[in-house]
A and B are shown apart, each in its own frame.
Chain A
Amino acid sequence: MRFQDAAPDARAVVYAGIQAEPLVARAAALLADATPAQRVMARAVMNGMTTEPARWLAMFPTLFGPSAAAADQAERGRSEALLAASLEVAERGEQVRSQVRGAIVESLTETLVRRRPKIAAAASSAVRRERRILFDGVRAEAHPYDVTVEMAGAPGAIDCKWGARGINADVLHQLDDARAHAADEDEPLTATIVVFDAERSCNVRLERQTAPHGATRLIALETLDELTRG
């Protein structure tokens, strides 16, 4: 088993520009330290209809109400910064906002995975983006994985989705195939799908899927911090 950069096609070149936007890194950094409620707020705003802050401030009294400010000024500040970043995403055109959201989930995933103690102490190349995984005698998959963990003894393939509806047969087959082919080579590759949506919605989606997913780890919005624990 070996990892390889994906050949950059036109889509990848355009998307790389999105991934490199400072807004993506800023939002991902804020989300990495956010509470589950703050993550729900960011999700709602980034896919909202209005970019009027007042409506969002009213919608989240536990984050922006008087008791929230009194309880923890730092958390209130993070909520405000996250709201501002999310509104910037929402103000983009529909197609671009969809790409930005996807890039944010990928960047957030990478950030959290890099917090695993073994990875934090390893070379920066232990976590990569947009990489393929090659196996002897197996045709390479067309699409690269969003995030890969390239550590001896603990490799991983991670795909990221904005919402539960993004869970489909293709991604489940690709992840399970990687895990199975790695197992054939005695490599304990962990296949993970990260979905920036509630676990309940993901499970409803997964129940409808016939593609193999019993050995694929699901990380949902409420469980994102589990990415830091491997």
Chain B
Amino acid sequence: MDDAFRTPERDDPELATVRGAITAARPAYEDLAALAEDIEDEWSYVTDLAAAWTERMDDVATARGDERVGQGLADAVRALSAEAAAVDDPHRAIDWLSTYPQVLLVALGERP
């Protein structure tokens, strides 16, 4: 198993709720957006895309924020963040700006 998400803390309090999971997932998403902005011709699309998905994630955090989540979700967020951190091409980052929140939402049992 990948070290990036094999973490010893089985009861990480920051990842114990839906809000915590979404908050923990946010930095990697912001890094993807920053990388994607390197494609100047797509700058406004990138910012609109990131805003649209951030709004969707915020909606879920508002609706289900205090809901407790299991260890599987904590592992999923770590794996997802590690995968996003490995993206080094801005074109792929644009694609992952859409993919990343979809994966997170599926892990939360939501439809994208």
Contact = CB atoms under 8 A, between A and B. Distances in A.
B99 interface: yes
Given A49-B86, A59-B107, A204-B45, A163 B95 contact: yes
Interface string A35-79: 011001101100111101011101111110110000000000000
Contacts of A59: 76, 79-80, 83, 103, 107
Given A40-B112, A55-B83, A204 B107 contact: no
A40 B73 contact: no
A40 B102 contact: yes
A208 B76 CA distance: 33
- Interface footprint category on A: 35 or more
Contacts of A197: 98
A interface SS class: helix
Nearest to B47: A204
B60 interface: no
Interface of A: 36-37, 40-41, 43-44, 47-50, 52, 54-56, 58-63, 65-66, 163-165, 197-201, 203-205, 207-208, 221-222
30 contacts: A40-B106, A41-B103, A44-B83, A44-B99, A44-B103, A47-B96, A47-B99, A49-B86, A49-B92, A55-B2, A55-B82, A58-B5, A58-B78, A58-B79, A59-B79, A59-B107, A60-B76, A61-B73, A66-B72, A163-B98, A165-B94, A197-B98, A200-B56, A204-B45, A204-B49, A205-B49, A207-B48, A208-B44, A221-B112, A222-B112
Given A55-B4, A65-B72, 17 more contacts: A36-B112, A40-B112, A43-B102, A47-B92, A49-B83, A49-B86, A50-B83, A54-B1, A58-B1, A58-B78, A59-B103, A60-B106, A62-B106, A164-B98, A165-B95, A201-B49, A201-B98
